[in-house]
Amino acid sequence: MPEAGHYGYKKTDGICDGVCGEPVSKAALTMSRLKCALRGFDLRALMAFLIGVPILILMIYAHGQKVTYFLRPIWESPPKPFKTIPHYYHENVTMENLCELHGWKVRDTPRRVFDAVLFSNELDILEIRWNELSPYVSEFVLLESNSTFTGMKKPLHFKENRHRFGFAESRLTYGMIGGRFVRGENPFVEESYQRVALDQLIKIAKIEDDDLLIMSDVDEIPSGHTIDLLRWCDDIPDILHLQLRNYLYSFEFFLDDKSWRASIHRYRSGKTRYAHFRQTDELLADSGWHCSFCFRYISDFAFKMQAYSHVDRIRFKYFLNPDRIQDVICRGADLFDMLPEEYTFQEIIAKLGPIPSTYSAVHLPSYLLKNVERFRYLLPGNCRRESG
């Protein structure tokens, strides 16, 4: 027992008492601390930590987007379901009967139809689209810019190849808008800017109330008989989205039937605005084709990857390698190495991996099948592309 009374006590640091307890000079204090601290560590655990953490960081960098998309059902709810309208068609059924099947009445004369698009570089797809719609469209409206949505300078491809579209010249309202070339800007800002300009070009084309206006990207192609039905029938909805069959790279890789952004409007002055988002809950079933990244040249794939609004999906430069792009096309895989953009785990898992090939070329745009030698690369069994 300590003696009663006042006594002093100085707290000591065991690690600082030398290498494992022996007194040491201040000069060796730092090394003493390190050695004694490491004595309590499992060296194998330390090595695993030093190696594992960088690997984990690298995996998150390389595959973090996949993890985010796979967990999408947790952090994002699915959109409200569309009210799908059954679509009836057969070439031997009269228009009066077709309108009646949809609950509409046939008109005495058809409405005028305006087809309006923003154009980048999809010359072949535009030719197929306009020939599909030509018998039913009163005016084609096309706007192109010398800038991509991402601010890259580009040629005026349509202007340079206008001779290919002589069949539409008498019904064409063409416009060109100069790019703003704002570095670092969100690509959707430039896209919105160009869509507003297209809205003005539509007015220049002298559209009138109750004319039909098709709003869709060039590669979202409504079928001709769908547009014919809607121009001849009364009492159709003021705005109607079109359900299109989703294809990737060509008509060999059928993804699903969930493309819905294309829409058709009964024009209303001061109210109708050109847009590419959801504008109503009504969707007309099986109304055409969406052929995304359907290009003849490998260089066009690389260009679009860098030009459109989702340029942030290019996480690595090797994504743009021509050999890789060709391999991805023939496998029906994803150019950006992404997981499916779905809202349930069941749908995500069902779509994992490459898209299976289809060998059906039934019910495709007629102009495509009439010009097989020119557009063979868009048909099943022809995945090889020219370099460009």
Degrees, nearest 5: CA angle 327-333-338: 125
Mean pLDDT of 178-199: 91
Give me 5's structure tokens.
């009374």
pLDDT of residue 7: 45
Cα 30 from chain centroid (whole Å): 58
C-alpha to C-alpha distance for 219 and 165, rounded to whole angstroms: 17
User: Of 311 and 14, which is predicted with more confidence?
Assistant: 311
Report, as an integer, the average pLDDT of 183-187: 87
Q: Which amino acid is at 329?
A: I
Q: How far is CA 59 from CA 46, 52, 314, in A?
A: 20, 10, 16
Task: Please check the confidence at residue 44 and state whether its pLDDT lies above 80.
Answer: no
220, β-bridge pairs:
290
- Higher-confidence residue of 38 and 281: namely 281
Distance CA 130, CA 166 (A): 11
pLDDT > 70: what percent of the chain? 86
Q: How many residues are given for the chain?
A: 388
- Average pLDDT (144-154) is 94
Partner residues linked to 244 by β-bridges: 259
| Minimum mean pLDDT range among 1-10, 17-26, 133-142 | 1-10
- In angstroms, rounded to a whole number, what is the distance separating the alpha carbons of residues 267 and 155? 32
Q: Is the model's pLDDT at 23 over the cut of 60? A: no
**How many whole angstroms separate alpha carbon 289 and alpha carbon 247?**
7
Average pLDDT over residues 323-347: 94
263-303 confidence digits (pLDDT tens): 999 999 999 999 999 999 999 999 999 999 999 999 999 99
Phi, psi of 114 (to 5 degrees): -115, 125
**Rounded distance, CA 333 to CA 248, Å?**
9
* 288 and 245 Cβ atoms separated by less than 8 Å: yes
User: For the segment 366-379, what is each residue's pLDDT rounded down to a tens digit?
Assistant: 999 999 999 999 99
pLDDT above 80 (res 109) = yes
Q: Where are the beta strands (DSSP E) in the chain?
A: 83-85, 105-106, 113-119, 139-145, 172-177, 212-215, 220-222, 233-234, 239-242, 244-248, 254-259, 263-266, 282-284, 288-292
Q: What is the C-alpha to C-alpha distance for residues 131 and 1, in angstroms, rounded to an integer?
A: 106
Cα separation, 52 vs 213, in Å, equals 57
What percent of the chain has a predicted confidence (pLDDT) above 90? 74
How is residue 83 written in tokens? 């009210």
> Residue 352 pLDDT > 60, yes or no?
yes
d(CA 256, CA 261): 14
Predicted confidence band of residue 15 (pLDDT cuts 50, 70, 90):
very low
Average pLDDT over residues 248-268: 98
The domains of the chain are located at 83-296
> What's the whole-number average pLDDT of the chain?
89
Model confidence at 365: pLDDT above 80:
yes
* Contact criterion met (CB below 8 Å) for 379 and 372: yes
User: Using one digit for the tens of pLDDT, what is the confidence trace for 129-148?
Assistant: 999 999 999 999 999 999 99
What are the tokens at 112?
């005028």
User: So what's the pLDDT on residue 349?
Assistant: 93
The structural architecture, per CATH, of the domain 83-296 is Alpha-Beta Complex (3.90)
Per-residue pLDDT tens over the stretch 221-249? 999 999 999 999 999 999 999 999 999 99
Q: Answer yes or no: is pLDDT of 151 > 80.
A: yes
User: Residue 285 and residue 225: Cα distance in Å, rounded?
Assistant: 13
Q: Which of 81-90, 155-164, 303-312 comes out lowest in average pLDDT? A: 303-312
